[in-house]
């Protein structure tokens, strides 16, 4: 009786085959078509998770309704000056489009942190797929959730008197701009979710960021009555630029190009800085 020893063969990249399971793939070894296929498969998995747990959609469905009703009836009469809440609705709803992405992005960070606690992300990292595809698929699904929230919020706004003074294309441009900026914010919170130890820590850190950005902006009220130092902050606050851009597009008033370009610059800059950091953290997290 003789024994036969097999020697694993080597692929051109130097990885062993035939001697055991292949190790995790590196992003640089995967082509664009395979990368897109991975993103599609993972996006479908995340979507099926939402289908299996419809309660996860409660915040997406209820949050825009509560925000529009609450701020319209609490602040509408006082801020509009004339008591005409329709005027304030046209001011508020485009601003809430800017806030919606920030709130959903926070949920992305806590979700990623929770997935690591459950071992889901370790399973993904053991598969021969691009590391970035896991995070991009998460963002794709969250953009879909954000789009649903936007549709509900706009529907609620129209029910309360929102008037579209611009064209439908301008409305779609405002929605698209909000989605692009919201996607860039998701990379920040994914990085937080990968860096901090618990979902509670992610949520606490997120609230420290959310509060000054939301209320130190032009989302809820004009900034002209604010103190000078606060106006200086609102002028550089990217949420103010996004709210103003959406407001100008929907109401067809004021200069549009400047706030749109500033918002896009913020979105590109945030993504270029935080996306590589998030992918690297995802690859090396223990």
Domain assignment of residue 232, yes or no: yes
Determine, yes or no, domain membership for 17.
no
Q: Is residue 19 part of a domain?
A: no
Residue 18 covered by a domain: no
Percentage of the chain beyond pLDDT 70 is 86
**The pLDDT of residue 23:** 43
Q: Which residue has the higher pLDDT, 189 or 82?
A: 189
Range of the domain at 172: 30-284
Segment 98-120 shows an average pLDDT of: 83
Checking if the pLDDT of 86 tops 80, the result is no
Contacts 24+ apart (CB under 8 A), 15-22: 22/128
The whole-number pLDDT of residue 84 equals 66
The yes-or-no verdict on residue 205 having pLDDT over 90 is: no
State residue 20's pLDDT score.
35
- At 106 the pLDDT is 84
The answer on pLDDT for 4 being more than 70 is: no
Q: Who's near 220: CB < 8 A, 6+ residues apart?
A: 71, 75, 79, 92, 95, 214
pLDDT of residue 260: 94
- Asked, for residue 6, whether it belongs to a domain, the answer is no
Is residue 14 assigned to a domain?
Answer: no
**How far apart, in whole angstroms, are the C-alpha atoms of residue 99 and residue 79?**
19
CA distance 243 to 94: 6
* Residue of 280, 248, 42, 258 lying closest to 139 (CA atoms): 42
C-alpha–C-alpha distance, residues 237 and 4, integer Å: 69
Write down the mean pLDDT value for the chain: 83
* Mean pLDDT of all residues in 180-201: 91
Whether 263 is covered by a domain: the verdict is yes
**Tens of pLDDT along 52-83?**
887 778 888 888 999 899 888 887 766 656 55
Compare 176 and 99 and report the one with higher pLDDT: 176
pLDDT of 13: 40
Residue 78 confidence (pLDDT): 65
**Residue-wise burial string across 243-258, b where 16 or more C-beta atoms lie within 10 A, e elsewhere:** bbbbbbbbbeeeebee
pLDDT at 242: 95
Residue 22: the pLDDT is 40
pLDDT at 82: 57
Number of domains in the chain: 1
Q: Is the pTM of this model over 0.75?
A: yes
Query: How far is the C-alpha of 106 from the C-alpha of 83, rounded, in Å?
Result: 34
- Bigger pLDDT: 11 or 66? 66
Matching residue, tokens 């996004």: 242
What are 82's two structure tokens?
């004339």
Query: What's the confidence (pLDDT) of residue 286?
Result: 65
Cβ(90)–Cβ(236) below 8 Å: no
Return the residue matching tokens 């395979």. Answer: 34
The pLDDT of 165-169, averaged and rounded, is: 91
117-156 pLDDT, tens digit each:
777 777 777 777 777 888 999 999 999 999 999 999 999 9
Q: What's the mean pLDDT in 267-282?
A: 93
What confidence score (pLDDT) does residue 188 get? 93
CA-nearest of 142, 155, 223 to 184 is: 142
Within a domain: 15? no
Mean pLDDT of 182-211: 89
Q: Helices (DSSP H) in the chain: which residue ranges?
A: 32-52, 58-80, 85-118, 120-125, 131-159, 168-195, 199-215, 228-236, 238-251, 257-284
Cα 58 to Cα 217: distance, rounded to the nearest angstrom: 27
Alpha-carbon gap, residue 47 to 44, rounded angstroms: 5
Q: Is the pLDDT of residue 173 over 90?
A: yes
Residue 38 has pLDDT above 70, yes or no: yes
The interaxial angle of helices 131-159 and 32-52, nearest 10 deg, is 50
Per residue in 236-263, pLDDT tens?
999 999 999 999 999 988 789 999 999 9
């Amino acid at each position: 009786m003789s024994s036969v020893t097999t020697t694993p063969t080597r692929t051109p990249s130097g990885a062993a085959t035939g001697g055991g399971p292949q190790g995790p793939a590196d992003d640089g070894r995967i082509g664009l078509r395979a990368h897109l296929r991975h993103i599609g498969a993972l996006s479908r998995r995340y979507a099926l998770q939402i289908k299996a747990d419809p309660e996860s959609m409660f915040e997406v469905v209820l949050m825009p309704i509560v925000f529009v009703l609450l701020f319209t009836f609490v602040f509408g009469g006082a801020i509009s000056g004339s008591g005409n809440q329709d005027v304030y609705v046209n001011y508020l709803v485009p601003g809430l489009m800017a806030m919606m992405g920030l709130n959903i992005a926070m949920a992305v960070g806590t979700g990623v942190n929770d997935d690591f606690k459950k071992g889901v992300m370790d399973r993904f990292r053991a598969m021969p797929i691009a590391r970035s595809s896991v995070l991009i698929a998460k963002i794709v699904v969250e953009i879909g959730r954000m789009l649903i929230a936007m549709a509900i919020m706009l529907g609620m706004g129209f029910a309360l008197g929102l008037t579209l003074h611009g064209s439908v294309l301008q409305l779609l441009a405002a929605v698209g701009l909000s989605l692009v900026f919201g996607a860039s914010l998701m990379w920040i919170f994914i990085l937080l979710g990968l860096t901090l130890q618990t979902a509670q820590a992610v949520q606490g850190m997120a609230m420290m960021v959310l509060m000054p950005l939301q209320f130190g902006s032009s989302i809820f009220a004009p900034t002209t009555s604010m103190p000078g130092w606060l106006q200086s902050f609102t002028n550089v606050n990217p949420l103010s630029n996004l709210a103003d851009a959406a407001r100008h597009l929907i109401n067809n008033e004021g200069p549009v190009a400047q706030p749109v370009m500033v918002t896009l610059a913020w979105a590109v800059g945030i993504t270029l800085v935080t996306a590589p950091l998030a992918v690297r953290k995802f690859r090396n997290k223990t």
